[in-house]
Amino acid sequence: MDVQIESSWKENLAEEFEKAYFFELVKFVKQEYSSKTIYPPARLIFNAFNRCPFDKVKAVIIGQDPYHGPGQAHGLCFSVMEGVAFPPSLVNIFKEIHDDINAPLPKNGNLERWADQGVLLLNATLTVKAHQAGSHQNKGWEQFTDAAINKLANHRDHLVFLLWGTYAQKKGTFVDRSRHLVLESAHPSPLSANNGFFGNKHFSKTNQYLEEYNIEPIVW
């Protein structure tokens, strides 16, 4: 199947695109976009991959679903376009960055600036029905994104995996801790941020690890 995705990812995930589950997933997603309001816009489904080629990845942040409100999702987990109000989890992420490395609070929530530096902002499920969280789970996206994480974990070295919350931690269980840095904490959601997300210092720890291996740190 000819999937419109960045060339290095297309090469690394080529076998996934030929599997039966992916053909079924594509059929489902096309039907959904043709008949319902689905986020993100179709051209941005693979935005996380397109902004961050396979060999440029330094860190991986795993989310669950795209935002399901109008104008929010654009294919990068936790990120919203300029002019869109910060969702609560993103507010807490920026607060932790400020407290951790004393970075100023940003004027917008568009995290393309991270993606362009090598942060793969990957949702486990890449599409969602408007106003229905989880509506595209268990359709095949999770198998696809597991394959992407697995490929990175097995074919790259010295990556940082930031796993916030139980869901992300389960998705990263197979990452070799001796080969990569795996940082785990509570999710930045207001429901759980006070249970260990605040104070996790994941952003300074990420950069410290990258610098140990002479990798350019992330400007958070």
What does the pLDDT read at residue 95? 98
Neighbours of 139 (CB within 10 A): 18
Peptide bond before 40: cis, by omega within 30 degrees of 0? yes
Express each pLDDT in 160-175 by its tens digit: 999 999 999 999 999 9
What does the pLDDT read at residue 73? 96
Q: Is the confidence at residue 3, as pLDDT, over 90? A: no
CB 48 within 8 A of CB 75: yes
Stretch 38-44: mean pLDDT: 97
Catalytic residue among 55, 65, 99, 146: 65
Residues 6+ apart with CB under 8 A from 135: 68, 128, 129
What does the mean pLDDT of the chain come to? 97
Express each pLDDT in 44-77 by its tens digit: 999 999 999 999 999 999 999 999 999 999 999 9
Q: Is the confidence at residue 100, as pLDDT, over 90? A: yes
116 is a catalytic site residue: no
Nearest Cα residue to 122 out of 70, 166, 68, 65: 65
Express each pLDDT in 112-152 by its tens digit: 999 999 999 999 999 999 999 999 999 999 999 999 999 99
Model pTM?
A: 0.97
- Please report where in the chains the tokens 């599997």 appear, as a residue: 19
What does the pLDDT read at residue 130? 96
What does the pLDDT read at residue 213? 97
Angle (nearest 5°) at CA 13 between 8 and 168 = 105
How far separated are the first and last CA of the chain, in Å rounded?
Answer: 36
What does the pLDDT read at residue 2? 84
CB 100 within 8 A of CB 205: no
Q: Residue 108: pLDDT band by 50, 70, 90 thresholds?
A: very high
Q: Residue 79: pLDDT band by 50, 70, 90 thresholds?
A: very high
CB 181 within 8 A of CB 153: no
Express each pLDDT in 190-212 by its tens digit: 999 999 999 999 999 999 999 99
